[in-house]
Structure 1
């Protein structure tokens, strides 16, 4: 199977994981049913090329497990009945739309997302999901103008939204705007783990070649600017489990916006040392080395979600210089309520 198809499938599964995480808090039977019913989706090249043969035939033909179908239908029917009496229930409407997407009832998903967007038009994640539903229902397998506007607004409001960047670059590639596609995907590149970044790098170089540009420079092994030792308070040590996720962030001293740099690592044994470098910067135009000082933060996540959740364990922030060889210690010492 083409490697980029596999990468696109990974992005689809990341989106699925986000959806199931949200569903779990509201409807565990539906979340479990969706988790069982979701097939591996390798749709990236399908929508870029507009040709079914771009998908691996075996993957495309693989049916969803039949055992989950009835449970999904029952759960969706219950949700529909609830929304009939609660038309302003935004979370329920999004839940229904995501369920329809998992069931590949894309027209129904699109219509449900449209209602959700009227209820909360500023929600970036839902706007991106709505844009995807518009793509899925487009006759020519391209993003219609409304979807493009949604993606552009999402990127403007949330510059580190990975799905928005991926889909916007896909639209630009489809439209023959290869230089713009390369630029958009280059913004996404530093946010990805090395394996996924390698696959995306190939597609960026394809877009750059189509635009008459040279390939990206080969990545150099980054030198850690800050080494962060992460430990946990003895009182909370029993709550850390191998396989939990540690997020380490570096933020600028003043102002909001996304982190300057971030790294996600699987928890082994504590204490552990994590190195932050320019390779961990989220924006090519705002590298870690461009800041004289940053605020370091760390969080232990049970779910692996980048968004803080109740039960996560955080460390008090620490200010550190970003000169090569700098070091700092963070102690996970408080639980997120």
Structure 2
């Protein structure tokens, strides 16, 4: 089948060239042109196209393409492995560390992202992008999503060095809100507002958080009826925590007690959390909206919450094997009687 195709193509080519070249040769002879010239013309006219056909038959068919090696496609894990290898050889590559941190962030791996931003900070301690990235990743790693300690210090430095850092202003405002410093949170978010597209969803969300912060700081201008309604709807849960006698021997100096509430159906982030020395057990706390991790997720934002307590053996907010824990199950946020928890099991 393939031979017949090439043979037919060759015959058609010869006929076409003959119809074109024979009149030209006759005219040339009448003009006194040398016969050798026409021989060369005929040779080129026939040999070159036929040679092209032969070359196509050899390497131009789809079958021969199968022998051409395709470029290898690299997967994301392979790309990350190669980048990490390069960074191991060149630890001063700040942009490489930032790229690694951003990649881990997109993959929802905040612990690895934090490590990558830490590498960037070791290479350049004043890199504001790395400061903000580390703080954000650290808040995502922590189950309580608090922004304090080193995270807050880095954000303060980043915003001081780059007052236009939108992410830095937002996160530092959240940190202030978590600490009950509502006026300062509002002030930071008001600096952020002019940098945003006023018609965007982000600008609307920021405006809502400013309103919440102003209301809690006592600077709201909403109608009195509305303010009264909001105040009455704010949830408060009185929680009493005790340690089971069988576990008292496992309590060690320096252990930390976390008491928290999270939405029955929603993100795992706590809507309110309290941190106390475990030595204070039995303990009693009141969980409120002001103990939320972010302005948009508060105790009042959920009708029912899961309330629990945990004793951290190493002081970390992330649950570890060997921690002691207990819970009261799901309760209404409108509940007025105390929520009682007994820490009676090991994680």
Q: TM-score, normalised by structure 2?
A: 0.50
1:294-334 superposed Cα distances (whole Å, 9 cap, x missing partner): 11011111211111112211103422222273421111111
Deviates more, 1:271-280 or 1:232-241: 232-241
1:181 deviates by: 3.9
Q: Is structure 2 residue 271 aligned with structure 1 residue 265?
A: no
1:270 Cα deviation from its structure 2 partner: 2.8
Distance 1:269 1:231 in 2: 10
Task: Kindly report which structure 2 residues correspond to 1:155-304, keeping only aligned pairs within 5 A, or say none.
Answer: 160=145, 162=147, 167=154, 171=158, 174-177=161-164, 181-192=168-179, 205=187, 217=214, 225-304=236-315
- Which residues of 2 match residues 1-337 of structure 1 at below 5 A? 107=92, 122-138=108-124, 141-143=126-128, 147=130, 154=137, 160=145, 162=147, 167=154, 171=158, 174-177=161-164, 181-192=168-179, 205=187, 217=214, 225-323=236-334, 325-336=336-347
Deviations 1:98-128 (A, max 9, x none): xxxxxxx973899789889989965312312
Cα distance change of structure 1 residues 177 and 319 upon mapping to structure 2, 3 Å threshold: same
Distance 1:335 1:113, change over 3 A: farther
CA contact (8 A) 1:128 1:164 kept: no
Q: What SS does the corresponding residue of 2:175 show, helix, strand or coil? A: helix
Q: Unaligned stretches of 5+ in structure 2? A: 1-80, 195-206, 219-230
| CA RMSD, 1 decimal | 5.0
Distance verdict in 2 for CA 1:155–1:303, change over 3 Å: closer
**What's the offset of the Cα at 1:208?**
5.1
Distance 1:328 1:137 in 2: 49
Q: Secondary structure at the match of 1:314?
A: strand
Q: Equivalents in 2 of 1:207, 1:117: separation in Å?
A: 24
Would the alpha carbon gap of residues 108 and 203 (structure 1) be closer, same or farther in structure 2, given more than 3 Å must change? same
Contact 1:128 1:154 in 2 (8 A): yes
**Distance 1:256-1:317 versus aligned 2 partners, 3 A rule:** farther
Q: How many residues align?
A: 231
Query: Rg: which structure is higher?
Result: 2
Once the two structures are overlaid, the 10-residue window that deviates more, 205-214 or 121-130, is 205-214
Question: TM-score scaled to structure 1, two decimals?
Answer: 0.51
Contact residue 261 and residue 282 of structure 1 kept, 8 A: yes
